[in-house]
Amino acid sequence: MAKNEDLTQGANYEILFVGRSNVGKSTLIREITGKQVKVGKRPGVTLKPTHIRFSDLLITDMPGFGFMSGVNEHKQDSVKNQIVRYMENNAERIDLAVMVIDGSVFVELVERWESRNEIPVDLELYAFLQEMGIDTIIAVNKIDKIKDKDLDSTIDGIVEKLGMLPPWKQWLDKFVPISAKKGNIRPLKAQIRQRLHSAKRDDLFKYM
Ligand SMILES: Nc1nc2c(ncn2[C@@H]2O[C@H](COP(=O)(O)OP(=O)(O)OP(=O)(O)O)[C@@H](O)[C@H]2O)c(=O)[nH]1
Ligand SMILES: [Mg+2]
C-alpha cells in the first residue's frame, strides 16, 4: 500500500480511468501502456486505486462502480465512497478522466435504473466529474459486441443519455468507440495525445 501511494509523489499529469465494474478499464490500460494490471473475468477485480507511473505521468486505474460479484453491499458502498473521496482529494492533480463504459449494454442498463426511479451510477459519476471540472473522455468500449449497422444509433443513444445532442460524430473529441480486447483503441490514444499536446506535454507521447 505505501508503495502504491509513493507513486503519486511528484506526479504532474494524472489520467484517471473510471467506470462501472467489468467495463474493461484494466484491459484498456494494459493496451494503452503495455503494463500489466489485473484483469478479471468477474466484476470487482480492482478494489483499490492502482497506479502506473512513467516519468511524471501518473495513470490511475480505479475500482469499478456498481455490482461486484462476491462483494457485499456494504463493501460496494465503501468502494463508491473511496472513489468519490479520491477524486475530491486529487481533483487538482487530475488533468484528464477517461470514463469507460460498456457500449453494448449502456443504454439498456441506464433505462433499467431509470425505470426503478433510481439515478444510474454512470450518470452520477459523469455529473460528478463535470462538477469537479475534470475534462472527461467517454471511451465507448466493447464495440466488437455491437453490429456495424447499429453502431451509430447505439452511440447516439449513449450521447443522449449523457445529456448531449446526437449525432455523436459532432463530439469526436468526447466520445471514442473502442474495443480494448481487440486492441482497437486508436481513436482514444489520439484524443489523449491531443490533451497532452494542449498541455504542452508532447514529451509524454512516448509512453502511450
Ligand atoms: N468483448 C469485449 N470484452 C472486453 C473488452 N474489454 C474488456 N473486455 C472483457 O471484460 C472483462 C472485464 O475486464 P476488466 O479490464 O477486468 O474490467 P474492469 O473495468 O477493470 O473491471 P473492475 O476491475 O472490476 O472494475 C474481461 O473479461 C475482459 O476480457 C472489449 O473491448 N470487448
Ligand atoms: Mg479493473
Predicted pLDDT of residue 87: 93
Predicted pLDDT of residue 196: 98
CB within 6 Å of ligand 1 — which residues? 21-27, 39-41, 43-46, 63-64, 141-142, 144-145, 179-181
In this structure, which residue's CA is closest to atom 12 in ligand 1?
22
Region of residue 73 (phi > 0: left; psi between -120 and 50: alpha; otherwise: beta): alpha
- Judge contact between 9 and 56, C-beta under 8 A: no
The length of the chain in residues reads: 208
In this structure, which residue's CA is closest to atom 27 in ligand 1?
41
Q: Report d(CA 181, CA 54) in Å as an integer.
A: 23
Report residues of the chain scoring pLDDT below 70: 1-5, 37-47, 67-73, 75-76
Predicted pLDDT of residue 175: 98
Predicted pLDDT of residue 21: 86
Centroid of chain to Cα 54 = 19
Predicted pLDDT of residue 23: 94
120-137 pLDDT tens trace: 888 989 999 999 999 999
pTM of the model: 0.92
Predicted pLDDT of residue 55: 95
Predicted pLDDT of residue 81: 83
Q: Which of 46, 181, 182, 185 to mutate for ligand 1's pocket (most ligand atoms within 8 Å of CB)?
A: 181
Assigned C-alpha cell, 86? 479520491
Other C-beta atoms within 10 Å of 12: how many? 13
